[in-house]
Structure 1
Amino acid sequence: MAREQSSEAAAVQPLLEQFQQLFFISKIVGILPQDLDKFRSRNVLEKSRNGMIYMLVTLVVYVLLYNVLIYSFGEEDRTLKASQSTLTFVIGLFLTYIGLIMMGTDQLTALRNQGRIGELYERIRHVDERLYQEKCVLDNSTIGRRIRIMLGMTIIFELSILLATYIKLVDYTQWMSVLWLVSAIPTFINTLDKIWFAVSLYALKERFEAINATLEELVATHEKFKLWLRGDQEAAAAPPLDSSQPPQYDSNLEYLYKELGGLDMGSIGKGSSMSGSGKNKVAPVAHSMNSFGEPIDPSDKAGNRNPMASNMVHESELGNAAKVEEKLNNLCQVHDEICEIGKAMNELWSYPILSLMAYGFLIFTAQLYFLYCATQFQSIPSLFRSAKNPLITVIALSYTSGKCVYLIYLSWKTSLASKRTGISLHKCGVVADDNLLYEIVNHLSLKLLNHSVDFSACGFFTLDMETLYGVSGGITSYLIILIQFNLAAQQAKEAIQTFSSLNDTAGLVGAATDMYNSSSTLHDLVTTTMLTPTG
């Protein structure tokens, strides 16, 4: 027994083998504190004191460099409140640090969950072994390809935004402009962390779909078995065939022969004499197809085969309720375990997901608002100078929204795949049409109903397409409100400037009038003095 388990464990490919490149990059930038040597040798995630120290040092260094960046490029921000509305100043001040908050959330959460995440992937490995026992083999190579594609897209987007902003909107003739590279660190670290979550979530989705495919295969096999039985009964009811004459075919059954193998009705004459008594009396089906109507190897001649081999039928598992009960129980237990893994995974990444969704909502709204301000020749915060260029704005918004939308979509599809298992299970009961199997299916479907999995951001909202629709509407509403406030502020500022200019003009007119009155009084006094006769 132990030898069989060891052979099964050797046949199952660990999921973490596909995370080699992602782990090394994450380790270098300081996202994961796990031990590097143990991962390289045994593909496991275990705690490491040196990894914790290195991760904390990188976090402190990133925070210091980010603040130096803000101070170096903050000359425009110091005059922003005086030149523009208070609303623009407050938005810029708050959003300046939201990227740093998002990065700190990712790193501190990974530091807190460094032991639990290793247990998570170990549970996935046990699930793969149990699926292998049920003849459900998974191909993890798609995980590796997906990771490489995500890493490539991340590097392309980060370099495009960074270099385009640096060349077009930053004065790169000064040596302090090199600090602009620090602005890409928070988003890059956040993207790497979310790749871990997205790929792990996709792995769970694949395992749900593997269970569903196994159940669907049971249904398809039983349907083929019933089709074979129906054809066998019809053949038994037909009159015996005369071996000296070519077989006669009913026109009503012609579609069946075409469906089973595309047989040419006029070309089959020989070999019909091999039809014996009992089952499989229709010669073309017995000699040109297997028991389920699938084409057989034409090299196997009828004279070289055992006559009993053509009458053997692989019994459908759904035809024996007692035999299939254990298989269905095992699949449902594995399904429950995958649901529990999904809940644990959602708990581990709940705070990073919430911070990402908040960051995406605020940045998307603010970037469009600052783009509007730039079109009106208004000053914007220095770290959001990418909004001055529409092309860079489109790239940045596509990058940010792509991460949020993909996680929401993948969470929604994984939840649907987990709930679809109950439908596939009921198909087994319907196609088998057996009372005992009906009772088994009803019992297991209740268990599946109580173990569905949904993904949320700390319980504030569920990650599904309905939430995506609500977020899109919220961005549009807040953007309109911000633009209206900006228009009102600009109109108020213009009114104040107009009133001030009117006051200045009135003051000048009053001063001129006083000077004229003073001149007139002096002239009258001089005139009166000169015209007055002396004694």
Structure 2
Amino acid sequence: MSQYTVQPILFYFSQLFILCKVLGIYPYNLQVYQNYSELKKSTIGTIGVVLSMIIVIVLYNLLIYSFSDKDNTLKTSQSTLTFVIGIFLTYIGLVMMVTDQLSALRNQNRLGKLYERIRMVDERLLREGCIIDNTPLRKRICVMIVFVFVCELTIMLSTYIVLIDYTKWKSLLWIFSCIPTLFNSLDKIWFAVTLHALQQRFAAINRALNEMVDEHERYKMASRNDKKNFVNNKEKQIKGFLQDVQEENVNLNYLYAELSGASASDLAKFKLGKNRIIPVGTAAATSINNFNQLSTKKKNNQMKIMYESQLNDIVKVEEKLNNFCQLHDEICEIGKLLNELWSYPILVIMAYGFLIFTAQLYFLYCATQDQDIPSLFLSARNAFITGIFLFYTSGKCVYLIYLSWKTSLESKCTGICLHKCGVVVDNNELYEIVNHLSLKLLNHNVDFSACGFFSLNMETLYGISGGITSYLIILIQFNLAAQQAKEAMNSISSTRALDNDSEEQQMNSTSSLTTFITSTITSAMTTEI
């Protein structure tokens, strides 16, 4: 453990950093990162992020303009609700991307300090005997990057091939429809992996406390077993001693028989008196030897077991528990800073996920009713593409909520693990230490939220799921009402058209009849004349 050196956590972000740097998502200095694995502010990087933002905005609006013909027909053919939803949600992805990039520019000086604080926490954990293995973070990042690109390319290419007329040159602009969500996903990988790293450090503290408890449990069990073995060995030694004494008595009886000439029957009746002398070199020597072996061996084992439990040394365990609580407080502060840096992007992505998920299902319903839908939601015309899109969009939001909930839960488990140490020892002095440190842990906990509007936990996830269902039903009801009103208007207009036609026919027939009568009378009068 002394040879182990703490590697900065940013060392394992190399693939993600280079990808974000090339795409213009993050503005940090590439050379400093490659040499020292640190995030330093870069003026050139800032200019690159701004240019990338402007280029994507221009191309995205060009994409919307190229498909504006379909949106114009949508306004005339469908309800105003569908048109307004389409226009609003068309730009929410672009707003999400701009929020991520502006937050990256704002946090240039603070994000590097956050990862430096994580490195210092790792060094302090190492001194306490807790080794954090950051190697799995690289694999996790690679898996998430591959997942993002597979989903983005699948949605974009399948929509382009199946639903878009790719014979026209302007259809190539459809490639830029996935850029905002791609940028957002790469930015959220940074947040998710950093959050997972904090969860690892909370888990390391809890694991160390649980190991101390398990170690003391083994110590207590071994002590009970040693006491039982000690008593059993004592009983065996005493029985052996008595057996040796009995054997020596038999030998002495034989000696007395030889010296006194008494018969065996007389010796059998003969009982040793209180002052009977027993040879010291035989039974007593062996018995004393046995007791000496027993006492020395058991004392050595007992002393050895006494120092196997750290919780028996109150002074050392108090220092260790204090260090763990200080580390816990530092990780909580890092978690609060992480939540503050990504507060606006988290709020926007949660709003995006809620609105897009609801809108995609609503437009899928519209597609099943042969209704026109906005151009950027053409994927709703295919159930398979819609399924992939919903899985990808909801997966990002659910994963972020789940990680935040697990990290917060892991931080609260430290107090439980701390109380286990006091319970297993059952010592008043240790109880006082544990109660004092528990108050500190109670005042330093971490809870992740979206700008304070709602917490990122399972309760929020259940609420969002219920909200999506409720709003989807409301939108479908409005759509049905709009379609029924439209059909009623069409039927009224068609009825009026039929009435107008019948009136015209009646007027034509009346005029023709009048003409016929007039011509008949005129001809009759001319004939009479």
Alignment TM-score > 0.5, same fold? yes
Matches within 5 A, 1:255-334: 276-278=293-295, 312-313=304-305, 314-334=307-327
Quickly say closer, same or farther: Cα 1:276–1:152, change in 2 above 3 A.
Answer: farther
**Segments of 4+ moved more than 6 angstroms:** none
Deviations 1:487-508 (A, max 9, x none): 1111111111111111111111
Deviations 1:178-227 (A, max 9, x none): 11110110010000000000000000000000000000011011111111
1:480 to 461, 473, 477: 473
Cα distance, 1:317 vs. partner?
1.2
Q: How far apart, in 1, do the equivalents of 2:230 and 2:519 lie? A: 145
What residue is the counterpart of 1:220 in the other structure? 214
What is the identity, as a one-letter code, of the residue corresponding to 1:241? K
Cα distance, 1:275 vs. partner?
10
Matches within 5 A, 1:336-415: 336-415=329-408
Check conservation: 1:35, 1:46, Cα contact below 8 A.
yes
Cα distance, 1:522 vs. partner?
1.8
Check conservation: 1:201, 1:410, Cα contact below 8 A.
yes
TM-score of the aligned structures, taking structure 2 as reference length: 0.87
Structure 1: 5+ residue stretches without partners: 246-272, 282-306
Check conservation: 1:232, 1:280, Cα contact below 8 A.
no
What residue is the counterpart of 1:44 in the other structure? 38
Q: How far apart, in 1, do the equivalents of 2:377 and 2:238 lie? A: 88
What residue is the counterpart of 1:423 in the other structure? 416
What is the identity, as a one-letter code, of the residue corresponding to 2:118? I
What residue is the counterpart of 1:241 in the other structure? 236
Check conservation: 1:232, 1:279, Cα contact below 8 A.
no
Q: Is structure 2 residue 48 aligned with structure 1 residue 70?
A: no
Quickly say closer, same or farther: Cα 1:429–1:508, change in 2 above 3 A.
Answer: same
Check conservation: 2:237, 2:291, Cα contact below 8 A.
no
Q: How far apart, in 2, do the equivalents of 1:279 and 1:436 lie? A: 32
Deviations 1:156-190 (A, max 9, x none): 11111111111101111112111111011001000
Cα distance, 1:279 vs. partner?
7.0
What residue is the counterpart of 2:163 in the other structure? 169
Partner SS for 1:193: helix
Check conservation: 1:18, 1:140, Cα contact below 8 A.
yes
What is the identity, as a one-letter code, of the residue corresponding to 1:44? E
What is the identity, as a one-letter code, of the residue corresponding to 2:226? D
Check conservation: 2:74, 2:373, Cα contact below 8 A.
yes
Q: How far apart, in 2, do the equivalents of 1:439 and 1:399 lie? A: 50
Q: How far apart, in 1, do the equivalents of 2:426 and 2:237 lie? A: 37
What residue is the counterpart of 1:266 in the other structure? none
Quickly say closer, same or farther: Cα 1:430–1:280, change in 2 above 3 A.
Answer: farther
Quickly say closer, same or farther: Cα 1:280–1:424, change in 2 above 3 A.
Answer: farther
Q: How far apart, in 2, do the equivalents of 1:39 and 1:368 lie? A: 43
Q: Is structure 2 residue 445 aligned with structure 1 residue 452?
A: yes
1:61 to 55, 58, 76: 55
Check conservation: 1:204, 1:342, Cα contact below 8 A.
yes
What is the identity, as a one-letter code, of the residue corresponding to 1:77? D
Check conservation: 1:165, 1:392, Cα contact below 8 A.
yes
What residue is the counterpart of 1:85 in the other structure? 79
Check conservation: 1:236, 1:278, Cα contact below 8 A.
no
Q: How far apart, in 2, do the equivalents of 1:517 and 1:176 lie? A: 59
TM-score of the aligned structures, taking structure 1 as reference length: 0.86
Identical pairs, percent: 59
Check conservation: 1:279, 1:311, Cα contact below 8 A.
no
Corresponding residue pairs, total? 477
Deviations 1:233-256 (A, max 9, x none): 2223333435999xxxxxxxxxxx
Question: RMSD in angstroms over aligned alpha carbons?
Answer: 2.0
Cα distance, 1:323 vs. partner?
1.7
Partner SS for 1:125: helix
Q: How far apart, in 1, do the equivalents of 2:295 and 2:486 lie? A: 99
Partner SS for 1:276: helix
Q: How far apart, in 2, do the equivalents of 1:77 and 1:527 lie? A: 61
Check conservation: 1:350, 1:457, Cα contact below 8 A.
yes
Cα distance, 1:16 vs. partner?
0.8
Check conservation: 1:35, 1:48, Cα contact below 8 A.
yes
Matches within 5 A, 1:60-139: 60-139=54-133
Cα distance, 1:276 vs. partner?
3.1
Of residues 310-319 and 387-396 in structure 1, the stretch that sits farther from structure 2 once superposed is 310-319
Check conservation: 1:162, 1:181, Cα contact below 8 A.
yes
What residue is the counterpart of 2:191 in the other structure? 197
What is the identity, as a one-letter code, of the residue corresponding to 1:415? S
Quickly say closer, same or farther: Cα 1:232–1:278, change in 2 above 3 A.
Answer: farther
Q: How far apart, in 2, do the equivalents of 1:164 and 1:478 lie? A: 28
Cα distance, 1:135 vs. partner?
0.3
Q: How far apart, in 1, do the equivalents of 2:458 and 2:231 lie? A: 55
